[in-house]
């Protein structure tokens, strides 16, 4: 049986592609426009062509018979936390270029990974528009679903929207992966994790976080400290449970983000009073311990935080492989 081939655009640090490669796919081209991500891809995917720069500049002529075109086509425009400019944003337009690539390359399957905020952006109109543009190609059966990584052997609650198109020439339909029986917790990856580089707290922050028990957050602080630490947020209502948050060994992690210590989205180690280190964050994203991230400390955190967890990618890859076989 021929090895199934793919191209990935907007690859980031390579979580999605690593999962597909480990499932038996062959990468013909990986692409990203961030120089640190490009270097990370080169370090970990020896012998695979890596294109640094915009996906709009890729010469498609030599990739006509690929099985799969996929990518984490930019989601900043669609993030629930962002400004939600959607298609009007330059980054949003890259999704339209991806649709052109699908039309030109005619892959057997295409896959887009995005934030779940795309479902509700502009009351669902943005997703409807994107799907409508794909449907105009009149070639693909398109489905989408939000998957939580913790259901697929990832010790983290992280929800991602997965859109899959299967070519009309293929008479098999794509099925989203069945949830795994065991849902991993932080203890599975943090216990005995070797030391690695990482950010540190200021003395003031350290003293505050010392008062927060495992699994707790700002509500566990004395009231006066709550007021001084949260400032105006204290009076704004809402949950705010990510503020001064200490993780819990017996539960999955909250979503790993681009920095392990932002005031609104704290990710303090469950047992020690410090932010998660790089290897800990990488393990929570289910990268192999041997995976190399390049760039500054902050750039490495960012790459890990933006990645698709490798085990989630594997679960999806197995189902794509089922369709292609």
Residues serving a catalytic function are 75
DSSP state letter for 195: P
Give bridge partners of residue 68 from the DSSP assignment: 6, 109
Q: How many residues does the chain have?
A: 325
Residues 6+ apart with CB under 8 A from 86: 77, 78, 92, 121, 122, 126
CA gap 97, 112 in Å, rounded: 13
Indicate if the alpha-carbon torsion angle 180, 185, 15, 262 is positive or negative.
positive
CA dist 324 and 57 (Å) reads 28
Start-to-end CA distance of the chain, whole Å, equals 9
Name the one residue in this structure whose structure tokens are 């999605």.
16
Which of these, 11, 111, 14, lies nearest to 68 by C-alpha position? 111
Angle at 259 between CA 210 and CA 316, to 5 degrees: 120
Residue 37 near residue 2 (C-beta atoms within 8 A)? no
């Amino acid at each position: 049986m021929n090895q199934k081939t793919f191209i990935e655009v907007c690859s980031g640090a390579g979580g999605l592609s690593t999962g597909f490669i480990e499932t038996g796919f062959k990468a013909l081209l990986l692409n990203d426009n961030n120089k640190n991500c490009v270097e990370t891809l080169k370090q970990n995917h020896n012998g695979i062509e890596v294109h640094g720069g915009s996906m709009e500049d890729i010469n498609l002529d030599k990739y006509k018979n690929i099985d799969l075109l996929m990518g984490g086509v930019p989601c900043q425009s669609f993030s629930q936390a962002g400004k939600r400019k959607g298609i009007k944003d330059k980054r949003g337009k890259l999704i339209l270029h991806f649709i052109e690539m699908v039309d030109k390359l005619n892959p057997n399957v295409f896959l887009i990974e995005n934030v779940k905020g795309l479902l509700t952006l502009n009351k669902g109109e943005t997703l409807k528009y994107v799907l409508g543009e794909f449907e105009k190609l009149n070639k693909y059966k398109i489905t989408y679903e939000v998957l939580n990584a913790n259901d697929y052997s990832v010790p983290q609650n992280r929800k991602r929207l997965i859109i899959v198109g299967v070519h009309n020439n293929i008479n098999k339909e794509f099925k989203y992966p069945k949830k795994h029986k065991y849902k991993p917790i932080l203890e599975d990856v943090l216990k005995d994790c070797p030391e690695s580089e990482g950010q540190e707290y200021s003395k003031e922050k350290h003293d505050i976080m010392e008062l927060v028990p495992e699994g707790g957050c700002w509500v566990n602080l004395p009231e006066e400290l709550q007021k001084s630490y949260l400032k105006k947020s204290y009076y704004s209502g809402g949950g705010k449970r990510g503020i001064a948050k200490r993780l819990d060994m017996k539960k999955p992690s909250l979503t790993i983000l681009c920095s392990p210590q932002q005031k609104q989205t704290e990710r303090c180690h469950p047992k020690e009073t410090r932010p998660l280190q790089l290897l800990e964050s990488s393990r929570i994203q289910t990268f192999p311990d041997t995976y190399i991230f390049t760039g500054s400390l902050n750039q490495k955190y960012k790459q890990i935080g933006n990645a698709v967890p490798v085990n989630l990618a594997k679960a999806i890859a197995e189902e794509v492989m089922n369709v292609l076989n």
